[in-house]
Amino acid sequence: MKTKNLPRYQGILSPVVYRDHGIDLLDQTLLPQQEVVLRLTRVEQVAEAIQTMRVRGAPAIGVTAAYGMVLGVENEGPSASLQQMERIAEELRGTRPTAVNLSWAIDRMLQVFRTHEAQSHDEIYEAMCAEARRLHAEDIEANRRMGGFGAELLPEGARILTICNTGALATGGFGTAYGVLRTAYETGNLDFVYACETRPRLQGARLTAWELLQDGIPFKLLSDGAAAYLLSRGEVHAILAGADRIAANGDAANKIGTYGLAVLAKHHGIPLYVVAPTSTIDPATPSGASIPIEERDPHEVLAPREVPFAPRGAKAWNPAFDVTPAPLLSGIVTETGVHHPPFDFRSLGRP
Ligand code: MRU
Output the CA–CA distances (angstroms, integers) from residue 16 to 24, 71, 150, 170, 293, in the order listed.
Answer: 6, 14, 25, 10, 25
Concerning whether 344 is annotated as a catalytic residue, the answer is: no
Average pLDDT over the chain, rounded to an integer: 96
| Listed residue (64, 263, 329, 47) closest to 170, CA to CA | 64
- Which is the closest atom of ligand 1 to the Cα of 171? 15
Q: What is the mean pLDDT of residues 84-90?
A: 98
Q: Are 89 and 69 in contact (CB under 8 A)?
A: yes
Cα dihedral sign, 319-320-325-329: positive
Q: Which atom of ligand 1 is nearest to the CA of 167?
A: 15
Report pLDDT digits (tens) over 292-337. Answer: 999 999 999 999 999 999 999 999 999 999 999 999 999 999 999 9
Amino acid (one-letter) located at 111: Q
What was the pLDDT predicted at 4?
62
The residue whose CA is least distant from atom 8 of ligand 1 is 255
Same domain, 210 and 251: yes
The answer to whether 199 and 166 have CB atoms below 8 angstroms apart is no
Identify the domain boundary among 143, 158, 189: 143
Same-domain pairing of 17 and 106: yes
66 domain-assigned:
yes
Residue of the nearest CA to atom 6 in ligand 1? 57
Given the residues 24, 27, 224, 244, select the one marked as catalytic. Answer: 244
The tally of domains found in the chain comes to 2
| Residue nearest atom 15 in ligand 1 by C-alpha distance | 166
CB of 101 closer than 6 angstroms to any ligand 1 atom: no
> Which of 143, 175, 205 is the last residue before a domain boundary?
143
If asked whether residues 129 and 202 sit together in one domain, one would say no
Say yes or no: 253 and 311 in one domain.
yes
Residue 324 CA to residue 253 CA, distance in Å, equals 6
pTM of the model: 0.97
Please name every residue paired with 12 in a beta bridge, in sequence order, or none if there are none: 9
228 and 176 in a common domain = yes
Tell me the pairing of strands 272-275 and 331-334: parallel
Q: Residue 143 C-alpha to ligand 1 middle, in angstroms?
A: 14
Do both 79 and 24 map to the same domain?
yes
- pLDDT per position as a tens digit, 148-192: 999 999 999 999 999 999 999 999 999 999 999 999 999 999 999
The domain of 207 spans: 147-339
- Same structural domain, 37 and 124: yes
pLDDT at 350: 55
CA pair distance 104, 95, nearest whole angstrom: 14
Q: Which CATH number characterizes residue 169's domain?
A: 3.40.50.10470
Do 55 and 79 have their domain in common?
Answer: yes
Is 89 within a domain? yes
